[in-house]
Structure 1
Amino acid sequence: MTKPSIMALVLVTTVLGFYCAQGNLHRPWLLLWTLIGSALSCAGASVLNQYLERDEDALMNRTRRRPIPSGTVSPAQALSFGITLVLAGLAVLGWQVNLLTAFLSLLTCFLYVLVYTPMKKMSWLNTTIGAIPGAIPPMGGWAAAANGLDFGAWVLFLILFAWQHPHFYAIAWMFKEDYKKAGFKMLPVVYPDGTMTLAQIMAFSFALIGFSIMPSMIGMSGKIYFWGALLLGAVPLYCARAFQYEQSVLNARKVLLASVIYLPLLLGLMVIDGIF
């Protein structure tokens, strides 16, 4: 119920924000409390998301075995568990880190649970709305280390914001029949011919390249990162172009795989550049 893959992304990007804010990972106890609080809040938000989508999850092949629709956990248990986790995470961040980090975590939970989740039934723009809370974690790490937000934190936000669009549009394309069955207004469901989905994937693939080189432009990273980011950005763009030429599940999966490989390599490159 706590979606470990999403939590892993949140924690890794939180560490990146913490590192970029001070140029190192000193103050390990502060980082540890930041990660504990962030993990609790993230887990709670994921549980609450599944609580709200329990009826839809029961209709989809990829989600019908989740704890609530399968009957392993009752809706009431999930609701209380999710709220407890979120409150515990906010308490840890507020008392052991700082109030700004706690606020960013609260904002993430609010946008994810109470804005993005219902938006999935209302508009295909839900992916863009959902990309906002998905891009806040590195800002939380930055705020934890610096007790404030500089322009660099917003650059990390933009990178994560752009990256999520090709990633989640590829997933939406692969499982569009499932989403349609559940009544989710994902872009490939609303525009089944694929034109809009492909346009969005291409647009954000280009935007991602532009955002990814910004750290070098503002002095956060150097030439190693700059050229590496350009080279890495060409891979998801190439996969997006292939998907544009042939709309198939295979090419959508390639876009997804490229995004999964791209992000950790880009983040690792940023750290390596900082070391050397």
Structure 2
Amino acid sequence: MATSATTDHVLAPAKPHSLLADYATLFKLRISTMVIITAGAGFYLGSLRSGISPFHAGFLQALIGIAVVTCGSSALNQALERKSDSLMRRTADRPMAAGRISLAHGLILGFAATFLGALYLAYTTNLLTGTLTLLTAIGYVAIYTPLKRVTTINTFIGAFPGALPPLIGWTAARGVIEWPGVALFAILFVWQFPHFMAIGWMYREDYARAGIRLTPNLPNARYAAQSTVVQALFYAVLMIPTSLWLSWFHITGLPYTIVATLLGLWYLYATIRFARILHGSNEADNTALARNLLKTSVLYLPLLMLAMILNAQGRLLF
């Protein structure tokens, strides 16, 4: 749990960092890995839909291009948020916020990776994939990032670029936007909200200190908790039918349907437990509930993607 916003936010002197470690932070490698996993799942399912092996040269080319653009947009995001990052305990030691990487350095890396990665995708996969990937980066950097300091609906708007990677993977394999690809987009779109609400609640004082507008920052603490819980529960319930949409298109079969339902119920259970923040007064317990939901969300998504891959086109591979 973050300490009070009135507490001095100055941190202890940072430990020495290598340039390689700073690049890993600048490019948000953990988030980039999740993007690659979801995009790879979309490519795999799209390739099978076309009746070809997913593991051809195009698979690696698509993932490389998507990864490069993701890293570039992460660098540009940190360039824009370097001042607000410096005000939050969990981000104050990021390389641009701490001044270890200059603004020019970060911007050059960010723009180069974003645009060269998109061009690479357009050349090696198809124009649609390159365009969608570039639009995702623009939506994340130029729309979502500035809105975080303006309006609380930034979370909803930011969910759109956040949900595009599996659709991009699908278009890389198929060359067109199709309903199964849209279903993959919908899964990631809905998944984000309980995930976001848990993060927002855990770090609400940090975000308030930096002027970032999230629902948990609202002045009325009771209303903030209610709004957070209602959103998390609504999307956790919606997650179950949304995850089953793929089976309706015969992209997956009965085993996936069973696994997806069980995973969805697990996600919903963690969200229902998170709702206890409405009645709990112990901040440590409330933070533990939010952290549990966050961990569940992080495990849920790759497990769901794995179930898709193992039961793609109804084939039983487990």
Q: Distance in 1 between matches of 2:114 and 2:221?
A: 37
Query: In the alignment, is the contact (CA less than 8 A) between 2:69 and 2:118 conserved in 1?
Result: yes
**Secondary structure of 1:149 counterpart:** coil
Query: In the alignment, is the contact (CA less than 8 A) between 2:43 and 2:54 conserved in 1?
Result: no
Q: CA deviation at 1:207?
A: 1.0
Q: CA deviation at 1:242?
A: 1.1
Q: Counterpart of 1:11 in structure 2: which amino acid? A: I
TM-score under structure 1 normalisation?
Answer: 0.97
1:254 correspondence with 2:275: no
Equivalent residues in 2 for 1:30-49, closer than 5 Å: 30-49=58-77
Q: Distance in 2 between matches of 1:104 and 1:5?
A: 22
Q: Counterpart of 1:118 in structure 2: which amino acid? A: P
Q: Counterpart of 2:45 in structure 1: which amino acid? A: C
1:232 correspondence with 2:280: no
1:5 correspondence with 2:34: no
Query: In the alignment, is the contact (CA less than 8 A) between 2:115 and 2:134 conserved in 1?
Result: no
Deviations 1:220-240 (A, max 9, x none): 111101111111111111111
Question: Could you tell me which residue of structure 1 aligns to residue 303 of structure 2?
Answer: 265
Question: Could you tell me which residue of structure 2 aligns to residue 192 of structure 1?
Answer: 221
Task: Between 47-56 and 15-24, report the one with greater CA deviation.
Answer: 15-24
Q: CA deviation at 1:118?
A: 0.6
Q: Counterpart of 1:69 in structure 2: which amino acid? A: A
1:133 correspondence with 2:161: yes
Query: In the alignment, is the contact (CA less than 8 A) between 1:18 and 1:25 conserved in 2?
Result: no
Q: CA deviation at 1:169?
A: 1.2
How many residues end up aligned between the 2 structures? 276
Q: Counterpart of 1:96 in structure 2: which amino acid? A: T
Question: Could you tell me which residue of structure 1 aligns to residue 273 of structure 2?
Answer: 242
Q: Distance in 2 between matches of 1:35 and 1:102?
A: 12
Q: Which runs of 5+ in 2 are unaligned?
A: 1-25, 279-285
Q: CA deviation at 1:7?
A: 0.6
Q: CA deviation at 1:202?
A: 0.1
Q: Distance in 1 between matches of 2:198 and 2:53?
A: 34
Q: Distance in 2 between matches of 1:244 and 1:25?
A: 44
Question: Could you tell me which residue of structure 2 aligns to residue 212 of structure 1?
Answer: 243
Q: Counterpart of 1:259 in structure 2: which amino acid? A: S
Q: Distance in 2 between matches of 1:7 and 1:146?
A: 23
Q: Which runs of 5+ in 1 are unaligned?
A: none
Q: Distance in 2 between matches of 1:46 and 1:26?
A: 28
**CA RMSD of superposed structures (Å):** 1.1
Q: Distance in 2 between matches of 1:25 and 1:243?
A: 42
Aligned residues: percent identity? 39
TM-score under structure 2 normalisation?
Answer: 0.85
**Secondary structure of 1:67 counterpart:** coil
Give 2:131's match in structure 1, choosing from 103, 111, 114. Answer: 103
Q: Answer 1 or 2: which has greater helix percent.
A: 1
Equivalent residues in 2 for 1:14-29, closer than 5 Å: 14-23=39-48, 25-26=53-54, 28-29=56-57
Q: CA deviation at 1:88?
A: 1.4
